[in-house]
Amino acid sequence: MKLLTRREPDHARTDVGEPEADYAGGWSTGAQANASTLIRWTAWILLFCGPVIATVAYVSAAAPAPAAQPKSAASTGTSAGSQGAAGFATLYLDAFLRAGDGDGGKLAAYYPAAAQLRLEGQSGRRHGEQLTVVRLRQSERDVWSVTVAARISEANPAPTPSPDAARRDVKAEARAASAEVVHYFQIPIATAPAEAGATGYIALGLPAEVGAPTRIEAPKLVYGPSHPALPSDPRTLAATEFLRAYLTQAGPLDRYLSPGTRLTPIVPTPYTGLAVDQIAVEGEAGEAAVTAVPGDGTRLRVLVELRGTGHDGIRVPLSYALSLTARAGRWEIASLDAAPARSAPPSVAPSS
């Protein structure tokens, strides 16, 4: 008897093969082993590095964040441009004194409003000599008041024929007298930042002629009264030998200097000889003759007046403030002082 079997259609039959021995859940057994090794090493690394990571995290959290530093804006101090203002004012005054008819444009470079001025007189009829800044003060922020001193000379006009040749030229004498007078002009100068970090200047008005600066009373000095410099006085001897080497190169200068003092003689030599006339000694009240030298290390300040003979034979008066130091039975020059030493102001007793 023949058994009939039912045939499944091809599209309904699915062949499911046996899984291969080296695959499990979509991973090969080799990949699974590698992953296990990686996880194991990662665990060991975290175990050893865990304390370090925790410490870094703690320090980072505890450290305050750096405060943002504000950008410093470029600023000019209140005293910026003082030297430039002084130089600008000097140039301005020189042009002002030389200016005449038609020179307003030249002054406009310093003071723009001067372009509209109607100036009189011939250009260059007078000019300033020995222009010097004698006062510089800040009247307000970025504005400087500069006082410039000048001697004013006038050009001599062409002589005019005169029937009376012996008549005195009054105008010429007046001009000569005026040239000896020192004039003072006060000039306001404004400053402001310019390109490339420079400072710009501009005048705020025309020069104003003012009076001479107030003369102050001379301060008291530490020296006693001046008296004739005696050759037997070791202080006079030390000062004379030093100044002769310094001004005339009569012998080596170092032999008159105390250890550690550095000075060089003047080159070329301005004088051919000198004579010390007067000497004033610190703390000395009388004129008693002194012939002894105190112990080593004693310091003393003196003010010396002398006459230096120039190469033309003319003797010129000079004065030098010197500090002396005693060593090995003689005085040596410790320093050529920048200025005579002032006496200390008297102390004021506190009120009870």
pLDDT of residue 286: 76
Please report the pLDDT score of residue 6 as a whole number.
43
Which residues in the chain land under pLDDT 50? 1-32, 35, 56-57, 59, 61-78, 158, 166, 352
pLDDT value for 48: 57
Cα atoms found within 13 Å of the Cα of residue 102, Cβ hemisphere only: 3
pLDDT value at residue 82: 86
Structure tokens at 274: 């000198």
pLDDT digits (tens, 9 = 90+) for 112-162: 999 988 888 888 888 899 899 999 999 888 999 999 999 998 876 545 555
User: Given this model, what pLDDT does residue 98 score?
Assistant: 92
Measured CA to CA in angstroms, residue 48 lies from 35, 40, 44, 54, 251 at distances of: 20, 13, 6, 11, 84
- Structure confidence at residue 46 (pLDDT): 56
Confirm if 58 and 88 have CB atoms less than 8 A apart: no
User: What pLDDT is attached to residue 306?
Assistant: 97
d(CA 276, CA 283): 20
Question: What's the pTM?
Answer: 0.62
Q: With residue 170 as reference, give the H or E element that holds it.
A: helix 170-179
Alpha-carbon span 68 to 168, nearest angstrom: 82
